[in-house]
Structure 1
């Protein structure tokens, strides 16, 4: 990321498709860490105490998250990197997904993050969705955990998009 986007320009890159893809890729890393912890630490304990436990659904869920990260990376390879964001906006416009989720005026090329009531609401929802570890502990379905991971990514994405101000 540092080779393509300067850290100070990371939030500015949200205006173009490459930056949106990069944000989504980074958000998928959150549930990947959760699954890595579940499958790497808790799964070992579970398998030593319960020999009938089937770890395959949990490994599949982690695999699907990794697959989604690779898909987003592949999409990023087809997009123009934001070396000159203002020139990229002039030539190809703002990211369509930004226009879909952002409900403010889009007429600048710099992004500032600011918290408001809707971003706090979505941030709380995103934190609540990290209960996928609790889902594992209570022996619920790995599919439910995967769906919660997707909801975590979606609500965290909406939190970020609702917190930006374009200047």
Structure 2
């Protein structure tokens, strides 16, 4: 069930990013963006999916409580007493209001209002909010807002652009916009991480499911940044490179996928206690052998680790070469994934836990 819930969260993130892109681009003048055509029906379908994608964690809670309290009483208790239930009700009402605005061709300002409320609602239901209350809500909301704004514009440009008119004018605002969003993402990401993982426990957390995905998320940002650098700063063409825009969008979707699965795992406030409850992360025993309490990561440089990290850097270089030699976009995406995989294994080999 947890895998299904994580997948629904991932799809929710993609849907909200798609809707956020529509909102941002409505504030941009026609002469500062390419021609982008998104069917109104597609926006309405996306909004209709929001209540469906918000439902799985609520259903899970209701089913867990139903044996003790009965189905109807469990449903009431979840809505009244649990953040997930309250967030679901708010999310459905927000999606309904937003649906009406889109259906009636409402203003960009009204769409932005419901977008911000939707993102705040996601922040309200987050792990961070349940642990540190308002600091968690603010941190997660800012983090998620920056992510969907950047991802949303990119999705529209990569998949719904009809021509490359005004490309240089578009880059003049989108490049600093992307940089600003990345600064917010990194800053709030560090802030949120400190709620869950002490800096000295960062490497030790890699043996846990949450810590493993946290490392993979951090590594996945590197090829994403390279793709963004190529599209935004290094490309001198007056026409967009559709293939590389799709590479960047796929890499951003990879970050969203990892984030969604990470959000459903127990944060390692106490490494040893979390290990006792959650056990070792998938694949970790294959790489570093059986693990025992206490967990204490120690840097132990070795040739295997260096070789694998070297392969990771080589994959990053091949990603760049894919752009230079105009290789198929799927191949450049695989090089980015190869960097993440090789660097992850290399780092795991380089620590004794």
- TM-score for the superposition, normalised by structure 1: 0.89
Query: How many equivalent pairs are there?
Result: 159
Deviation at 1:95, TM superposition (A): 1.2
SS in 2 for 1:2: helix
The one-character-per-residue Cα deviations of 1:43-89 (angstroms, maximum 9, x if unpaired) are 3x0x23xx5xx612211111111111111111111100000111111
Larger RCO (alpha carbons 8 Å, 6+ apart): 1
Query: 5 Å matches for 1:90-109?
Result: 90-102=276-288, 104-108=289-293, 109=295
Structure 1: stretches of 5+ with no match in the other structure: none
Instruction: Give the corresponding residue for 1:151.
Output: 338
Residue 309 of structure 2: aligned partner: 123
1:25 and 2:217 aligned: yes
Secondary structure of the 2:232 match is: helix
The structure that has the greater radius of gyration is: 2
User: Which one of 62, 81, 97 corresponds to residue 267 of structure 2?
Assistant: 81
Unaligned runs of 5+ in 2: 1-192
- Cα RMSD (Å) of the superposition? 1.4
Over residues 93-131 of structure 1, what are the superposed CA-to-partner deviations in whole Å (9 max), with x where a residue is unaligned?
A: 1112212332x3422311112210101111211111122
Separation in 1 of the partners of 2:254 and 2:287? 21
Give the C-alpha shift of residue 136 in structure 1. 0.9
Greater share of helix residues, 1 or 2?
Answer: 2
Match of 1:58 in 2: 244
Counterpart CA distance in 1 for 2:304 and 2:285 is: 17
Counterpart CA distance in 2 for 1:105 and 1:143 is 36
Matched, 1:139 2:319: no
Aligned to 1:160: 347
**Secondary structure in structure 2 of the residue aligned to 1:96:** coil
